[in-house]
Amino acid sequence: MPMADTGPVMDIVILAVVIAVVVLGALSGLIVGSRRKKSLPPPPPAAPDITAPPAEPHVGDEAETPREEPRRTIEEVDLPGGPAPVTVEEPPIVEAPPIEIPEPTAGRLIRLRARLSRSQNALGKGLLTLLSREHLDEDTWEEIEDTLLTADVGVQPTQELVERLRERVKVLGTRTPEELRGLLRQELITLVGPEMDRTVHTENAAGGPGIVMVVGVNGTGKTTTTGKLARVLVADGNTVVLGAADTFRAAAADQLQTWGERVGAHTVRGPEGGDPASVAFDAVKEGKEMAADAVLIDTAGRLHTKTGLMDELGKVKRVVEKQAPLDEVLLVLDATTGQNGLVQARVFAEVVDITGIVLTKLDGTAKGGIVIAVQRELGVPVKLIGLGEGADDLAPFEPEAFVDALLGD
């Protein structure tokens, strides 16, 4: 058989075998590669598993130097035994609010007399002008009566005053302006009641702090008056503890505390809406522990229902009196509310035994005669009067100085 015929066939067979070997080799390489890949450990998670529970801290964890810590240079590193740099830490300067020195109480009414100018014009000057008329006829006396009524003196006191004036003018005969002024002054002072005890009782017979409860409708100036009274007492050399028993409004307690801080008086307060009686109790307790001269208790004055008010004030009073009797119960009335003020006075007098009245806002009214009317209504003296929003605009009430201020110079 000739060799030339089988040559090309053999070439093809050889080529096919070579290709088969190469393909098999490549395939087996791929399989091994993929097996290797599958056997590699899974890569660590990029971020810690936040769903896992937090690991317990281990001893020494905190000792690790945080990466963020700046590298220290050799100069900054302490050598053992070397002098440690002394870093003196300045204590933070906490500035205590400056304690104010309130104005002395003596002569306050005289200083503030000009504040009564509206009452002065309506009452004092009005009456003096009428009395200076040439003929004091019936009409003039009626006008005098009207003037007194308009200034809220009240019906009964007005009639008394007019009667007495008429009588004395008739008896006296002569009527110089000075004489008339003198007569009016005397009669007004008599009407105001110079003999009444107007001391704000802050001394306790048993030697503990005097306990003063301040009551009145919200908005009359009750909290402000409690704060101002604290100043009056501090000005007279007393130490005072304030009880913010008006827990109905948190702002009222803040307001009282601010008043106290200004004169260095400690304020006892409770949670908003808390029990007023327990605040009052604590205030008296702390006042005793601190050996304070006086404890002033500011109360809430919601007049929604008389029963509610009675319950609340009655409870405060009872709870306080478990420790010591009340020395003073001051009713705060807004002089600008006129007859409404008298209605309030009646309600409060039924609830607690009022021992003194504070008439506020007398600076903004022509109705200074309310002093006379309210005393008549309650049979209780006006002890303090408010003549402005300033911290020391609360004056002890002095009948003579008051009448002089009404009549002007």
Ligand X SMILES: Nc1nc2c(ncn2[C@@H]2O[C@H](COP(=O)(O)OP(=O)(O)OP(=O)(O)O)[C@@H](O)[C@H]2O)c(=O)[nH]1
Q: Which residues bind ligand X (CB under 6 A)?
A: 216, 218-224, 246, 249, 252, 360-361, 363-364, 386-389, 393
SS3 track for the chain: CCHHHCHHHHHHHHHHHHHHHHHHHHHHHHHHHHHHHHHCCCCCCCCCCCCCCCCCCCCCHHHCCCCCCCCCCHHHCCCCCCCCCCCCCCCCCCCCCCCCCCCCCCCHHHHCHHHHHHHHHHHHHHHHHHHCCCCCCHHHHHHHHHHHHHCCCCHHHHHHHHHHHHHHHHHHCCCCHHHHHHHHHHHHHHHHCCCCCCCCCCECCCCCEEEEEEECCCCCCHHHHHHHHHHHHHHCCCCEEEEEECCCCHHHHHHHHHHHHHHCCEEEECCCCCCHHHHHHHHHHHHHHCCCCEEEEEECCCCCCHHHHHHHHHHHHHHHHCCCCCCEEEEEEEHHHCHHHHHHHHHHHHHCCCCEEEEECHHHCCCCCHHHHHHHHHCCCEEEEECCCCCCCEEECCHHHHHHHHHCC
* Cα–Cα distance for residue pair 353/331, rounded to 1 Å: 10
User: At its nearest, how many Å lie between ligand X and the CB of residue 225?
Assistant: 6
Least spacing, CB of residue 115 vs ligand X, in Å: 8
Cα(139)–Cα(35) distance, integer angstroms = 127
Query: Of the two residues 266 and 361, which places its CB atom closer to ligand X in the complex?
Result: 361
**Minimum separation from the CB atom of position 206 to ligand X (A):** 30
In the complex, residue closest to ligand X by CB: 386
Smallest distance from ligand X to CB 124, Å: 20
Q: Which is nearer to ligand X, 113 or 127 (CB)?
A: 113
Nearest distance in Å: CB 391, ligand X: 10
Tell me the binding residues for GTP: 216-223, 298-302, 360-363
Structure-token match 């702002």, residue found: 251
In the block, residue with structure tokens 């929003």: 389
Nearer to ligand X, 161 or 333 (CB): 333
Q: Which is nearer to ligand X, 321 or 389 (CB)?
A: 389
Closest contact distance (angstroms) between CB of 259 and ligand X is 9
Choose between 161 and 402: whose C-beta lies nearer to ligand X: 402
Nearer to ligand X among residue 324 and residue 359 (C-beta): 359
Taking the mean position of all CA atoms in its chain, how far away is CA 392?
Answer: 17
Smaller CB separation from ligand X, 338 or 364 = 364
Query: Alpha-carbon distance 191 to 347, whole Å?
Result: 24
Tell me the closest approach of the beta carbon of residue 354 to ligand X, in angstroms: 16
Nearer to ligand X, 337 or 375 (CB): 337
Shorter beta-carbon distance to ligand X: residue 287 or 301: 301
Q: Give the separation between CA 265 and CA 257, rounded to whole angstroms.
A: 8
Shortest distance (Å) from residue 173 CB to ligand X? 43
